[in-house]
Amino acid sequence: MNAKLIAGVASMLVLAPSFGQAAKKKKIERKDQRPNILFILADDMGRECLGCYGSTYKTPNLDAFAQQGLQFNYCTSQPLSTPSRVEALTGKYNYKNYSEFQFMNQDQKTFANLAKDAGYTTCISGKWQLGQNAGLPKLFGFDNYCLYHLTWKGNKYCKPEFEQDGVKHTECTEDQYGPDYFSDYLLGWIEKNQDRPWLAYYAMTLVHDPFNPTPDSQDWDMDPNKRYDEDNKYFPDMCSYTDKLFGKVMKKLDDLKLRENTIVIFVGDNGTARYITVPMKDGSEVKGGKAMPIETGTGLPMLASWGKYESQFKNHQVDDLVDFTDFMATFADAMNIQVPAEWDTDGHSFLPVLRGEKNPNEREWVFVHYQPNHVPQANLEKYSCRFFKDHTYKYYSTGAFYNYKKDPEERRGLTMKVRTKEEKALSAKYKAMMDKLPKWELGDKCVKKVVLPGYEPVATKKKGQGAQGKGKGQGTQTAK
């Protein structure tokens, strides 16, 4: 073993999460039998990346989970990461509380705040990107954290840099891989808290660019310098590594005998990067649609299961409509707590589906309000929109109407002249619903940014660069 590898192993031992002794604890029967909740969010992973949705990529653990649990075929997100994360965490449509990219308004309550109110212990591991202040995870309800992109943005893959429960780590070696550390931290935390109800949010850094080799890539062992190479050819490896880490998490739940009473949800946050094309088993190819409101940008892979109910699943394919506001409502239902009315949330619980039952509150439509408020050079504001969507049709606030099942790239809008009687009735229904929403047009500003006293953004530095400037927002409101 060479000196560099020995140093890397030693560093890993120093950095190992402080939960390792939990394995030696005697198993205690838990009195509170409400389910644990594990919410896993993959970064920039469209449906076409998973074998169970027809991909040629190798994802055996996720495919097996889909066969044992539930594969949702109509989950809709925002087309971009921060808008999706804000919506999922708060259970609100973006027109109510989304202010700018890489930020979440600090007067908001999250499903972690709700879990704390319900008596759960909470954790987040992986990607943050919701504001630059070390106090924010606790403000938003997380007891413990291990995060990339909290108060500064360093490496997230080879030689990672991150923050763990108030401590910055920059001492990792080139033999260490960020996704491994975020996963190990999560597993240690679960082990420590196995005797009480918990909610964990695993915000994976995979498979977002840069597309670098993983420890399982052939190039990883050839030369440490190649571990920083950026090439689309590594994207399939990153998808497979996501699957590997998912399998590792599920094994831990099995080893701790937590699987039966843990709700596990795996979902992507938005579509795959637009410069990635994935070959499918049927011979077709799917080009990523990240940042765009078409189906490859907003139609996400979603797999879920509540272990003890798996034997009751008559059909593992689920066609119920789900959008990102629904996670808050579902978690509240599982934790046996009401979401306070003043939180003004929009979601529908799909918990009955996780029990193998028909959902009496099954959705007839999902809704998207999308305003990126990204950096101007990205030129994403042109994709801003709002629409209603069901299993077949999409109706935009502009009046555009599509059969997205036949026309997934939305190239041929259905004019009044060609719409059937049923299509005219449906588009009229959605127009009436759209007219009841607060007025919005392309070019309108997002809601104001809300910063609480004591949680102001800290000056951030990226290694080798100066301080990063704040993005162009729409004004800042300081909450009193």
Single-letter code of the amino acid located at 141: G
Single-letter code of the amino acid located at 344: D
Label residue 381 left, alpha or beta by phi (over 0 means left) and psi (-120 to 50 means alpha).
alpha
- The whole-angstrom separation of Cα 337 and Cα 331 is 9
- The whole-angstrom separation of Cα 450 and Cα 106 is 6
**Is 153 within 8 Å of 132 (Cβ atoms)?**
no
DSSP string computed for 136-147: HHHHTT-SEEEE
* pLDDT tens-digit profile, the chain (480 residues): 344 443 443 344 334 444 444 444 445 567 889 999 999 999 999 999 999 999 999 999 999 999 999 999 999 999 999 999 999 999 999 999 999 999 999 999 999 999 999 999 999 999 999 999 999 999 999 999 999 999 988 899 999 999 999 999 999 999 999 999 999 999 999 999 999 999 999 999 999 999 999 999 999 999 999 999 999 999 999 999 999 999 999 999 999 999 999 999 999 999 999 999 999 999 999 999 999 999 999 999 999 999 999 999 999 999 999 999 999 999 999 999 999 999 999 999 999 999 999 999 999 999 999 999 999 999 999 999 999 999 999 999 999 999 999 999 999 999 999 999 999 999 999 999 999 999 999 999 999 999 999 999 997 555 443 333 333 333 444 443
This prediction's pTM: 0.91
Q: At residue 254, what are phi and psi to the nearest 5 degrees? A: -65, -45
- The whole-angstrom separation of Cα 419 and Cα 85 is 36
Residue at token pair 């709002």: 386
CB atoms within 10 A of CB 25: 11
Count Cβ neighbours within 10 Å for each residue of 196-235 and write b for 16 or more, e otherwise: ebbbbbbbbbbbbbebbbbbebebbeeeeebbebeeeebb
Cβ contacts of residue 282 below 8 Å, gap of 6+? 54
Single-letter code of the amino acid located at 309: Y
Q: At residue 109, what are phi and psi to the nearest 5 degrees? A: -110, 145
The confidence score (pLDDT) of residue 28 equals 56
**By C-alpha distance, which of 276, 160, 152 is closest to 208?**
276
**Is 401 within 8 Å of 413 (Cβ atoms)?**
yes
Label residue 222 left, alpha or beta by phi (over 0 means left) and psi (-120 to 50 means alpha).
alpha
> DSSP assignment, residue 129?
-
SS3 content of the chain, % helix, strand, coil (to 5): 30, 20, 50
CB atoms within 10 A of CB 238: 29
Single-letter code of the amino acid located at 300: L
User: Helix (H, G, I), strand (E, B), or coil: what is residue 198?
Assistant: strand
Exposed, middle or buried by CB within 10 Å (0-12, 13-18, 19+), for 475? exposed
The confidence score (pLDDT) of residue 27 equals 52
- In Å, how far are 32, 320, 322 from 403, measured between CA atoms? 47, 18, 19
**By C-alpha distance, which of 228, 193, 197, 188 is closest to 211?**
228
Q: What CATH number labels 33-364?
A: 3.40.720.10
Question: Omega into 210 within 30° of 0, i.e. cis?
Answer: yes
Cβ contacts of residue 296 below 8 Å, gap of 6+? 46, 48, 271, 272, 286, 287, 288, 289, 408
